[in-house]
């Protein structure tokens, strides 16, 4: 695998097809768990681990799994890894396990994971699938953590549990609520889209100018 391919996969997962801000996948944990940066980061890492391992196994078995039962097979494989992540988190990170609550087992039905299994891992080789899982997971983790930081800062005046100032002096509790989650999510999608379009237009203009310059020569 060449560097360009890895770069493309990384750009796809982190920016071009960012699962949270671009594809709007996995919205349930995005809205519910971003009240704190720690739980957002924890959920992102859990999803990344499941994505990587399920993509690897699905890619390995892609020529064996019959087309008619591919979805049940994917679900069984994904559920297995989610359960393993759940068991490991309960054993080694009990506080995080408690804070993620029901959303941890619900990773099984996260459409991001099933979506990548169906759209990518079942059609591509193992290494590509693993990298796709890694970068998609990192994109998801980055988006969740960013939202978690902003919401925690505004609603509790802290980041990753570290108190920055007295919340009674200034805090907006609204951002800790469900409605605050929707508003934050909407603002982030808008900002992401504006920035993404600006960069893409700039790149498009640059390549058009390059092409014109070439023609002029």
**By the rule CB under 8 A, 65 interacts with other proteins:** yes
**By the rule CB under 8 A, 27 interacts with other proteins:** no
**By the rule CB under 8 A, 126 interacts with other proteins:** no
**By the rule CB under 8 A, 189 interacts with other proteins:** no
**By the rule CB under 8 A, 162 interacts with other proteins:** no
Q: Which helix (H) or strand (E) holds 141?
A: helix 126-156
38: left (phi over 0), alpha (psi -120 to 50) or beta: alpha
Q: CA distances (Å), 144 to each of 36, 62, 122, 184, in order?
A: 10, 30, 26, 11
Which CB atom, from 32 or from 153, has the smaller least distance to other proteins?
Answer: 32
Backbone phi and psi for residue 93, each to the nearest 5 degrees, phi listed first: -130, 65
Provide, rounded to whole angstroms, the least separation between the CB of residue 61 and other proteins: 8
Which CB atom, from 48 or from 158, has the smaller least distance to other proteins?
Answer: 158
**For other proteins, which residue of 10, 60, 79, 111 counts as binding (CB under 8 A)?**
79
Which CB atom, from 166 or from 215, has the smaller least distance to other proteins?
Answer: 166
User: How many Cα atoms sit within 13 Å of 89 on the Cβ side?
Assistant: 24
**By the rule CB under 8 A, 43 interacts with other proteins:** no
Q: CA distances (Å), 208 to each of 193, 202, 213, in order?
A: 22, 10, 8
Looking at the chain, how many residues does it have?
Answer: 217
Q: Would you tell me which residues interact with other proteins (CB under 8 A)?
A: 32, 61, 64-66, 68-69, 72-73, 76-77, 79-80, 83-84, 87-88, 90-91, 94, 98, 101-102
């Amino acid at each position: 695998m060449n560097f360009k391919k890895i770069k493309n996969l990384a750009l796809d997962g982190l920016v071009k097809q960012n699962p949270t801000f671009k594809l709007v996948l996995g919205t349930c944990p995005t809205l519910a768990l971003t009240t704190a940066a720690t739980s957002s980061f924890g959920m992102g890492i859990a999803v990344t681990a499941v994505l990587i391992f399920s993509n690897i196994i699905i890619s390995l078995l892609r020529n064996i799994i019959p087309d008619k039962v591919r979805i049940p097979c994917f679900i069984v494989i994904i559920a297995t890894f989610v359960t393993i992540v759940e068991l490991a988190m309960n054993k080694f990170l009990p506080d995080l396990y408690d804070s993620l609550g029901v959303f941890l087992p619900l990773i099984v039905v996260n459409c991001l994971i099933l979506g990548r299994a169906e759209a990518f891992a079942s059609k591509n080789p193992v290494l590509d699938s693993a990298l796709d899982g890694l970068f998609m997971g990192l994109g998801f983790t980055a988006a969740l953590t960013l939202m978690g930081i902003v919401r925690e800062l505004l609603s509790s005046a802290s980041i990753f549990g570290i108190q920055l100032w007295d919340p009674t002096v200034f805090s907006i509790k609204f951002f800790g609520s469900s409605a605050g989650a929707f508003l934050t999510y909407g603002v982030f999608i808008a900002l992401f889209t504006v920035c993404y379009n600006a960069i893409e237009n700039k790149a498009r203009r640059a390549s058009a100018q390059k092409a014109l310059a070439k023609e002029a020569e």
